[in-house]
Structure 1
Amino acid sequence: VRAELRPAPAPAPAPEPAAPGPSPTQPEAPPAPDGGPPDWLAVSPPAPAPSPGAGPAPGPGAPGAPAAPGATLPELPKQVTLVGGGEPVRLGRHPAYGPVDTARAGEPLTYLGAAEGWVLVETVRGARGWIPGSQVLLQDKGAEWARAPLYTLSEEEWYIGFLPVRVVSDPDGLNLRTGPGLNHSVQAVLPQGTALKVLGRQGDWLEVALKDGRRGWVAGAYTALVADHSARVEGVRLHSAGPGILRLELTGDLQGAQVDSEAPGGLLIRLPDPSEPVAHLPVEAHGVRDLAVTPAGVLVRFHAPPAFSVREQTPGRLVLEFRPRVLGVETRTEGDGEVYRFQVAGAVRPRADHVGEDVRVDLPGATLAAVPLPPGVWVEQTETGHLRFHIPSARPYAVKQVPGGFEVWFYGPGLQGKRILVDPGHGGDDTGAVNRALGLQEKDINLQVALLLKEELERRGAEVLLTRSDDRRPLPPEAPVPAELSNRTRADLHYRTVLANESGVDLFISIHANAGGPSHQGTEVYYSQDNLNAPRSQYLASLIQSRLVAALGRPDRGVREEMFYVIKFTDAPAVLVELAFLSHPDEAKLLASPDGQRRAAAAIADAVVDFYAGRP
């Protein structure tokens, strides 16, 4: 039976490229009030979540979802300029990712996209990677600066502003300072006539932005207003207000605004007689696709629409708070196990772990609708604002993401009915580590051990899938490489996680052989703290490490945490196994021997049986 899995990957949010590994072998708060608003603001209730078993609802993030009438997203191509000196262009959206190039002051950058407060660019040397949004100036191409919206973005805040413009009026120039007061240092002296966009005010001091992206404070008395370019919406600010909680703050002339959460393009704050300026800012974070100012009003598009409440409203200011909301909890039987399905409005990333006699499931920032809970399940609101469910069970478990929420699976012992994806690392033109003296390539050893592991797991009753069953990359050669992945190796790693997530596997095991200096030796197993099932991944890693060290007799290098791509972005409990060092003469011979390969495969299979035998 051919067990290789090759479904077409479903569209997914832009992923990060892979992090470089440690060796050449590795590619890499209380619930919101629900009180009604005053008469001037009309609020529609959030749409209901899909029922259990239904497919994903065509929400505002779905491909092809139409925009609300008059709320069509504006076509605004972006240009990006580096603020300040050189800045590393990184493989992924985190400072820990290595640089692929360095953007230098004055060099043109090509804008490719934005996500999670980072901007994807291409340098003049053809390298593609990510720069923090705080280090660039993002503008609409061809827009007049004085009338164009001001965009700012970071990992926790996104802002669109239509701001008044002032100029330096003093013939002697004006100091641009780091803060509001004479005690703050001078960044630059701005000559008379320099245009300034006003971001805020503190007493007589103005916080301003310059055309070149610089920001600072100036004494307002030495400036003059030249254009206010008045718009109904002056500012749109989306920011994190704590784990799982988002707030949207609007300022301007908001008299007569209506909040429409049933608009097909997303949540729309409709404005009567809207002004002409338009703007669009990608977000791709916290479940939000983007923000836009359209002729119909302010549009927020979500991947999964959350519940919201009105926190503040005046004719000049509106604050909405978004939180995930649990709409129901139901149970069903799957084989010899049990599944708890949580229906959730909005994006949520649960964290589950065994605590005492329960499995505790934390939902940051979430609220609970008035719904019955299954017998034995109880819930509390923590001091940190998490909604915490307690499920009475000592069985092994895993969290799985599903349309409209998530599920917690509880398993019986043994491997019967368990679906496991085994990933032989590298493949095809990606050889991995090489021992030239013995003529060994890591990709071949990985595949042989993976095929033996498949046999061992199947013999114990598991259903086993492989990312590859021969010498090739899992990613089909005709598959395009998205810009955010930049090269085929990183696209191949992403494809492996797509195979795991789309097939709903119960476990993911990636097989590798290590490399380093001639004295480096031993076995190690990795898990990622960012994995959806991080505590279970860590437990599985410890079991595999213990079994492998005993079976192979090599030094114990321990269980390690890293953000390797395949174990970070796979939802199931996931580990990356470094069997031994291909660069060490003794260990290379062990890895190449049929006996060593079979011992390794049997040890990993025994650890998987241990994993399902009960809680740690």
Structure 2
Amino acid sequence: MENSCSSVRLRPLAIIAILIYILLLGLKTPAALAASDIKLVLNGVQTDPEVGVYVDDNNRTMVPLRFIMEHMGAGVEWLAAEKGIVITRGTKVLKMSIGSSQAYANGQEIILDTTPVIKESVTMVPVRFISQAFDGEIGWDDVSRTVSIRLDSPVSSAQVSITGSYVNFRSTPEISDGNIIGLLPRGTVLQYIGTNSGWYQVQAGDGRRGWVAKDYAELISVSAPAPGAQEPPNMDAGEPSPGSQPSLPGVSRIRITGSYVNVRSGPGKGFSVLDVIPRGTMLGLVGASGDWYQVQLTSTRTGWVSKDWAEPIASVSLPDNDGLAGNLPAETKRPGNSPLGLAVIGENEVAVLAGPNPEEVEVGIAPAGSQLTIWQEQGNWWLVEMADGQRGWLAASLATFAPYQPAKITGIEARQSAEGIEVVVAASRVFSYTSSRWDNRIIIDINGATLELPKGQEIIEVRRDPLLRVRAGQFVAGTVRIVFDLRGGAALSSRAASKGSGVVFQLREPTITGTRIVIDPGHGTDPEGIEPGAVGPRGTLEKDVNLAISLKLAELLRSAGATVYMTRSGETIPYTLAERAYYANQINADIFISVHANASTSSDKSGTSTYFYAPYGSDLGEQRGERQRLAYSIQKALVAELGRQDMGVKEDNFSVLRNTMMPSVLVEVAFISNPEEEMLLADPAFQARAAQGIFNGISNYISGN
């Protein structure tokens, strides 16, 4: 049987039409096909962009720019005024303009053979130029009709350091409940990939990529100092030895002297930045290599800082090493800016105010006949320092100016008082001092002073509780050190001696009455910006919880007779993070309590913990017993009051712990990232119980229970 088709006769016009249709079908471009006809594969993963790939009139394959770049680890910014596009990936920066064939790669002009366009509100660019500019590979599979692009991970010269306490790690550059993939604590350093408006794209150590808000992070360079950070301008370009030499003899730690200094993963500028440390920070010294110090950042983490921006601090590793009576010298911690002169008070005492204005509140009294060091002049006002180290403003008309002279320490006498022991330190004028507590002694450093004691007064045996003996010596040039060796615990206070002839120190059996306690409600708005801390699933802000608990704690302590200072009592705080500790040091606080709520990437994590910091072989190490005892006392009482999981006492290198000179702790009351504990933390009744628990712990610590 013959094929029936042979009987079908086609007209010539129909044959021509069929041939044209077949020809068009074979040559059909992606632009004429459905958007899904050409597939797009990025680094081996098939994607589905909103606007599909197509071939333009110049026979060039066009791809959606932002979709590709954000999937391939690049930042894209739109320059509206010039209809320009800036793409940043690693060390490469591309710039193109809509409708223009002119482009730039790292500033070098390139002429394209087609132009970027906007299609359905999406910027489309030639795929070959993008791929080649970033040293990538492009492929085409004719069978599956697939465009594939492969780009290696960018070699970035920058990193991003988290500056917020706990910052959300998001899968996309936007605030959304569904895109949080992690929580990053302050100090976390991530690989910088790119930017998008108010966001940094970063890569975490585990390989995950995501976005963090620029408001809570800062871009830091690996091959150059971080913005504002300081490092030697002429670093040796040779490869540094990764090994560390033994610690320097007689040195246990270093102090940062630059404004903001990079801490690196190795001894050289080529190593990545782990952290940025402010001036005045003290770190334990592990070793040295060439022009670099190896320092202890946490109990398990070390880093390196340039010797150009740090200074060694003399060791105090021996139990009795306080620099007196034959021991090795230790460090004096008082800032060393030069005084302008002395304010000599007349026959009547004078009020010292919080600011250079008669409407300011009173912060202290300058005794009649006293001489106060002048540190600053503003109009007709002087910034002066009182005996307890606190500074305030004095109307210049109420005092007489005298050239600055070191205070002469001329005598020491210990005597019994109704409440304990008084130590009268006679001097040519009232002096300011700093104090620090070690396990069995209190150290008093008098800066700007010389020792002129009668022979035999360098050591005075007392042997009446709580004071065993008093020792004095010219610690270093310009600093007199007095040591109170104790028999058990003791509370310290002071007052100016009569007619400004020195200072009277009072030591008594420890009671909460009169104890100077600084409460630090974590976070808040400080001079560096808004810092909300962690945010709970329901939107509860850690800073608000911290403040509520702290205010309740302050009320309990004041009712018990304690002298309470707060780093903030509202939203704003006048101190940066490091300055919170310096404030406590300046007023010679006995105890420092920083109140926080914890956070975790896991919403299941819960419980209470308390932190202290006192590394062995450092000045803080001499307080290790006291700091641990305070931490354990508060942790035990807080867990008993709240009934949450006991996560224990931990040690970590928090700024407020490493920079305070008195026993200090950081309390993590509960996890704000846990839905149940977030609700508790927002409950005033729970806040009151938390305050009561901390109060009980402080009371037990002071009483020795």
* TMscore range, shorter length: 0.3 to 0.5
The structure with more helix, counted as a fraction of residues:
2
Q: TM-score, normalised by structure 2?
A: 0.38
Query: Between Structure 1 and Structure 2, whose CA radius of gyration is higher?
Result: 2
For normalisation by structure 1, the TM-score amounts to 0.43
Q: Which has the higher contact order (CA 8 A, sep 6+)?
A: 1
